[in-house]
Structure 1
Amino acid sequence: MVNRSRRPRRARLLAIPLAAIGLVLGMTHPALADNPTSTVVDSTRGGGMSVGLTFDDGPNPPDTLRLLGVLREHHVKAVFCLWGDHVRQHPEVVRRIVADGHTLCNHGMHHDDMAAWPAQKIRADLLETSAAIRAAVPGAHIPYFRAPYGSWGQTPTVAADLGMQALGWRLAVGDWDPPGTAELIRRLREGITPGAVVLLHDGGGDRSQTVDAVAAVIPALRSEGWHLSLPARRG
């Protein structure tokens, strides 16, 4: 989601004890309101033996471009949660993401913690981010929003009002502090559960280990009967 010195405080608190047993789990988010569109989803639309790959903090050449090559080779579609500042720096990479048929997610303009923000300020940030994405790709469809640091506050409701589903995760493998490709592979293989959305990163630092791990894990999962899916949407 960002340089890992700024990695989500809440996610880090969860990660420390779990990392000791080899995997880092993300938060499973309950409904934040009766309106189903303001629920934070963390499961795939297919359920069962499916898993959804999501990538935060890009676009970030060259890692994003190499990741796109891996996904293309294995015919996998993923969700890219885009950081607005990075979108403005690398609009051509956003165009590549869309051209390859992947799904876009608004990840905030400056990767700020919005947990305590009033709704009006959140709305302005999300609108600015979506505008930056659409400046790169006119008319781009942006069906998801993911809060930086997993700090939700009022963001799911505001995102729903703007037509975006709040997107959480069930598994975060801690690639913001790269532990080595072999360790990332192990955390993915041991941590993935049926229907899980997985949080990974293509930006916010050197993500070459993440790309290498994804390249190894996709064929291994498929050989065991898993299929790669997109996250659910509600409402």
Structure 2
Amino acid sequence: MTKDQMFTRRHLLTGVAALLGAAGTAGTAALLVGDGASGPAPTGSPGPAAGPGDRPALKPSSYRLRPLTGYGPPTRPRTLVPPAVRREPFMRVDGRGRSMVLTFDDGPDPRYTPDILRTLRGHDVRAMFFVCGEMAVQHQDLLREMADDGHVVGNHTWSHPRLTTISRARVHSEMARTSEIIEKAYGEPPLWFRAPFGAWNRAVFRFGAELGMEPLGWTLDTLDWRTPGAHTITERVEDGAGPGVVVLSHDAGGDRSQSVRALRDYLPGLLDSGYRITVPRRKYV
């Protein structure tokens, strides 16, 4: 079976939840993507598996990502909407146009991050990197390279602790110190935050909002940290692909050579099957 057939038969994740509009809003949240899409996605449960006759076959490369305007860190208007103190992280993006987001945690690591950047650059694709401060301070050149390529850099704390088990003072320090080093190396403070291990609590949401960041989780965990093999990682991404999906992978924290090889395999397949790999954007007035 070809990759196009695999994607055609795949269960598409169409149950995209609405944007969280205020601090008290609960439920899985979707956010805007970088192509200018706006408004909440429809709610509902995932639909049935798509069959070959459900829609016309996609032409290879017909929906490849067009380059964003210019390179370097995204320009933020002065009218950026400040983040609310939320109760849950965003878990997916507005999937209209078959948009997906690739994210990489725990870096940057000079052993693996440069290869990931080269692969993304070769396909003219932007991704998100949630970096740890203790790694970023040692490899600021890689953050500058991410900025030059137009990737989004998010905050993943300084030392990757489980935030729900440490003091509020340390939670704030872990987040604030990392934002400072990102601003120094990347050129602007981060707009996104991801809690290590996906461990969130009220203090994390509050401090994130105070530091100007929105919380982002993920829809699809590749479990690449278990080093299951590049083929298995590729299969997980292909089987879980769908509109609105946020993919979690890693570019540091251990041997990530399998993650590097898997990206080289699944990224061309996603693009040729009609997925638009993009990055989320914050709302503006």
Higher Cα radius of gyration: 2
TM-score, normalised by the number of residues in structure 2: 0.67
TM superposition shift of 1:230 = 1.5
Aligned pairs (5 A) from 1:37-52: 37=84, 38=86, 39-52=88-101
* AA partner of residue 152 (structure 1): W
1:77 aligns with one of 112, 126, 138: 126
Percent sequence identity over aligned pairs: 37
1:162 aligns with one of 206, 211, 214: 211
Secondary structure, aligned partner of 1:52: strand
| Other-structure match for 1:222 | 271
Q: Deviations over 1:32-74 (max 9, x none)?
A: 9327732411212454411100000000012100100000000
| Other-structure match for 2:37 | none
| Other-structure match for 1:111 | 160
Distance 1:46 1:99 in 2: 26
Distance 2:262 2:197 in 1: 22
Structure with greater helix percent: 1
| Other-structure match for 1:140 | 188
Secondary structure, aligned partner of 2:224: coil
Give unpaired runs (5+ residues) of structure 2.
1-15, 26-82
| Other-structure match for 1:90 | 139
TM-score, normalised by the number of residues in structure 1: 0.80
* AA partner of residue 268 (structure 2): P
TM superposition shift of 1:91 = 1.4
* AA partner of residue 34 (structure 1): G
Aligned length: 207
Higher RCO by CA contacts (8 Å cutoff, separation 6 or greater): 1
| Other-structure match for 1:124 | 173
Q: Deviations over 1:142-181 (max 9, x none)?
A: 1100001110112122201211010100000100011111
* AA partner of residue 142 (structure 1): P
The 1:114–1:205 alpha-carbon spacing in structure 2 relative to 1, beyond 3 Å, is same
Secondary structure, aligned partner of 2:163: coil
Give unpaired runs (5+ residues) of structure 1.
1-27
Preserved CA contact (<8 Å) 1:54 1:81? yes
Distance 1:90 1:97 in 2: 11
Distance 1:73 1:57 in 2: 23
Distance 1:125 1:207 in 2: 24
| Other-structure match for 1:211 | 260
Preserved CA contact (<8 Å) 1:116 1:153? no
TM superposition shift of 1:116 = 4.0
Distance 1:109 1:64 in 2: 18
Preserved CA contact (<8 Å) 1:105 1:144? yes
Counterpart check, 1:195 vs 2:244: yes
Pairwise CA RMSD: 2.4
Distance 2:237 2:99 in 1: 13
Distance 1:230 1:89 in 2: 25
* AA partner of residue 228 (structure 1): I
Distance 1:207 1:47 in 2: 31
Secondary structure, aligned partner of 1:199: strand
1:152 aligns with one of 193, 200, 207: 200
Distance 1:223 1:87 in 2: 33
1:172 aligns with one of 210, 214, 221: 221
